[in-house]
Every structure is written in structure tokens, then in C-alpha cells.
Chain A
């Protein structure tokens, strides 16, 4: 019937600007929507409201001074960003990281991945209108922040992973805290399942909306949970194992239809896998030092590297060019949020305005990383 009507009645397209201050754009992003009634014809993300010039600032800092900027890039998973940057510099300067430090790095990166996915669940819940669904993950995330707080004294911007290793060894108290957290995590995830996953309205909002096929995902260059939700098995921790990831047994959760629901489920399953990795790493923690011998003044030889790491949002890549001085000549960062955000238009076309909010949420962009 609607098709018959739409042939008779001529409707006009109109534009709607969503943002830059909007509760569900996850920061300061503007989306220019072209609408035909309730249907989205086109969605163009308009970025740059948080462009802080991090890449340029890094050129005027030495290699150690760049660390705080990587913290503030993707601020809900700072450990993963530090990890990626340090690996790039270590490769450039040919530093060998001790095995114990590699294991500790893996533990922290995976804990931060869980914390980041908790924020995803919370913000997705609040975006579809389930405010209670936000309170629970935020409460549980505090347990991880407590661990980091005990470890390095910061709740969000850690700079704990340093060039050549990590800042300090794990104390007994931290190990205990991690063990307690791992014991409770399963119950926490069950609670989210009770609150959200089984909810019929929640399922209706997420299932069969914003479908991305595997082919489209590859063409757009998506990575991380967004790519895996479309059924492509690509995880750098498996396919290009770094920092002793090859020692751990874990699965890569995959979706099959590439809709919003799959992106949600993939992240839910990833949390359990991350916990599995942390458990194995803690049990098999090797002895030894946690810091390589790093010169006080780091002058990496001339050359360039591109090193990738699997962050919670996808492939975090650092391309660093060195001219042999104490400062990097150029740093380019491949930010997964920016590249995943390109899929927004594809995800919104033909769906309703209400689905734009859900699509934005399942992309899970961090605007600090998008605008850099």
C-alpha cells in the first residue's frame, strides 16, 4: 500500500542537522541527514569539531613526550593506544621488550578492551532508551578502573605502557584485584544479558537494521568488531600475532548477517574471550624484568615503520618517520573510529531516523580518535 501511495504522492526531501551537540552522537559530531519523511536518503558525517592537531603536536615533542597524546586519542581505551605507539617506536629503535612486560601489556590491553566494550554497551542502551542498561556497565567498569588506579594512579589516561616495557611490575594487590574481577565478570555479563539481550524491544531495534555485507565491509576498510560482525575472520591478535598473543588460546567471535545485533553480540562475546586471555596471561606470567634498556635520549635511526595493533575498535596503526633526531619527523595514526565512521551513510540509507542513533552507537566511534 505504501508503495502505491508513494507513487501518487510526491514528497519532498529535506535536510536535518544532527549535532554537534546531541546526546547520542558520542561527542561533538555533526551528521547532515537528508530525509524523505522518516526515511534517510543520505547521511553525511561532518567532522573536525574536536580536531586537536595531535599528529602535528607530536612532531614538536620527543618520543617520550608523545605518550600523553596517545592516551588522549582514544580516551576510553588508552592502554591500547599506548601499546600501539610503543610497539611502533620499539620497532623503529630496535628495542627488545622483555617477555614479562609483553604479558603485562597483554593483560592491561585486554582489561581495557573489556572496559571499552562496557562503555559501548552502556551508551548503546542509553541511545535506544534503556537508561538502566547504562548504569550497570558503568558500575562494573569502575572495577577495572580501580585496578588501573592501583597500578598507575590514573583512571583514564594511564601512560603505563612505556617505550621498552611497562612502568612498574604488578603488585600482589593488583593481581588479586584482577583475579577477583575475572571471577565476577561472568556474572556481570549475564546481568547485561538479562537486562538487554533478552529484551524484545531491544531486539526489534537492533535486528536486521543497518546491514553491512562482508564485501561492503572489506571495501570500506572496516576493521575490528564491525568487520567481524559481517563474518570476516580478521583479527590481528591471531593473524599477525604480536607481544606473545600466539601463546594464548582464544576464539574470534564472528557474526553472520552484519546487522546492528551482530555488532552488539560480537562485542559481548569478545569480553568473555578477553577475560580468557587475561586469565591465561596471569597464570603463565614469566619471571624477569619489565623494562628493556632504553637510552635516556632516544634517537631512532633514520627510517619509517608502520605497526598495527588490534584495539577495541579495530586496527590501530602508527606510521612513524624518523630523521634520526629525538623528535619524530612525522607521525600518522590510522584511527579505526575514523575509518569505521565511513560506513555511516551505508548503514543509514533507507532506514528510519531512529535507526541512525543505533547505527552511530554500534559503530562506537570515539570522537577524539575520529578528529585526532
Chain B
């Protein structure tokens, strides 16, 4: 017998049957708590996204945390240098599971215009795993919102995501 069939007739309209996994995915994808980790230029666009016009709160992602222990989304916005790489990795390790990473901007994706500089990490995926890459230098706030919605898709339907061959 199906579980749904065991629900008494009077409660049919009030009870939803789902898997615990589905419930977690739904909750996680609708309320990501980003860690404020602005590194450079993209951080200003990140602030704009959270501010009045673009209003990230519409999607439930506005709770920017200053402590990695309270965050589950690592929004790396800006150029990562080799000097900054150890603290960044440490921040990532301090975040509780499950955790997601968005690489915002060309610098975080692949070093951007500074890729051939002696002090710049050519892409944060050399240091930490990345879920969503957002191109742009800097990406517009709309692009950041789109990236976060892509991440939402990924959390809800991980089976639809294809692995990028690098």
C-alpha cells in the first residue's frame, strides 16, 4: 500500500507526502545563507545585489553572515591571490556541511585579466570546489541572481547537473 493511501480521508487536503531528502532540498535551496567574503571589485556588485534595487531578499538569500560557521554558501567575489588563498581555504573548511560555492566574476573563474600575474590564483577551483561559475568582469547583479537560481536548481535536482570537464 502506498504511504499516501494510509492518510485518513479528512486529512488528505492538509498533508503532503514527500521524502526527507526532498524536504531538505526544498528547505536548503530556498534559504541560502551567504558568507560575506568580498575580495575585490565584484564585492561592490554583490553589495548592490543585496541593496535596494535588486533586493536579493526577494529570493530568500539576503541573510549575509560574517561568520563561516553560520553560512552555507561561499560567494567568492573577486580576485584571489596566493597570499589570500590559505585564509580562504580555511574559511571554506570552517563552514558546516552541506556547503556550496559560487565563483563570481572572471577572476574567481579563471584569473580574469590578472591571469598571468605572478601573485594571482588562476581560478578559485585550484583551491576549493566550485558549484556555479558566473562570468563577467564584474557580473551584473542580474547575473549574480541568475547564478544563485542556478544553484537552487542544482540543489533541487542534482541529477540534472553535468560535470564540467576541465
Contact = CB atoms under 8 A, between A and B. Distances in A.
Asked if chains A and B come from one complex, the reply is: yes
Majority-rule SS of B interface residues: loop
Interface in B78-129: 78-79, 81, 83-84, 87, 91, 113-114, 116-120
B41 A138 contact: no
A252 interface: no
A52 B48 contact: no
A164 B140 CA distance: 29
Contact of A142 (B40, B48, B78, B120): B48
The range of chain A's interface size is 20 to 34
Contacts of A23: 36, 66
B44 A76 contact: yes
A27 B66 contact: no
Given A52-B79, A52-B119, A68 B113 contact: yes
A72 interface: yes
B58 to A, nearest CB: 14
A332 interface: no
B94 to A, nearest CB: 10
B48 A51 contact: no
B51 A135 contact: yes
A368 B117 contact: no
Majority-rule SS of A interface residues: loop
Nearest to A142: B53
A92 interface: no
Contacts of B83: 48-49, 51
Contacts of A68: 113
A285 to B, nearest CB: 29
B130 interface: no
Interface in B125-145: 137-138, 140
Contact of A50 (B39, B48, B138): B39
A51 B83 CA distance: 8
A119 B43 CA distance: 12
A69 interface: yes
Interface string A44-81: 00001111111011001000000011001001100000
B44 A156 contact: yes
Contacts of B66: 22-23
B39 A157 contact: no
A367 interface: yes
A147 B66 CA distance: 33
Nearest to A71: B41
Contacts of A57: 113-114, 116-117
Nearest to B50: A138
A52 B37 CA distance: 18
A180 interface: no
B45 interface: yes
B118 A56 contact: yes
Given A20-B84, A28-B84, A134-B51, A50 B44 contact: no
A238 interface: no
A176 to B, nearest CB: 20
Quick one: which of A49, A56, A76 has the most chain B CB within 10 A?
A: A49
A299 to B, nearest CB: 24
Interface of B: 36-41, 43-45, 47-48, 51-53, 66, 78-79, 81, 83-84, 87, 91, 113-114, 116-120, 137-138, 140
Interface of A: 20-23, 27-28, 48-54, 56-57, 60, 68-69, 72, 75-76, 119, 134-136, 138-139, 141-142, 155-157, 367-368
Given A50-B40, A135-B51, A139-B52, 16 more contacts: A20-B87, A21-B87, A23-B66, A28-B40, A48-B83, A49-B83, A50-B79, A51-B119, A52-B117, A53-B117, A53-B118, A57-B114, A57-B117, A139-B51, A142-B53, A155-B140
6 contacts: A53-B118, A53-B120, A135-B51, A138-B53, A156-B45, A367-B40
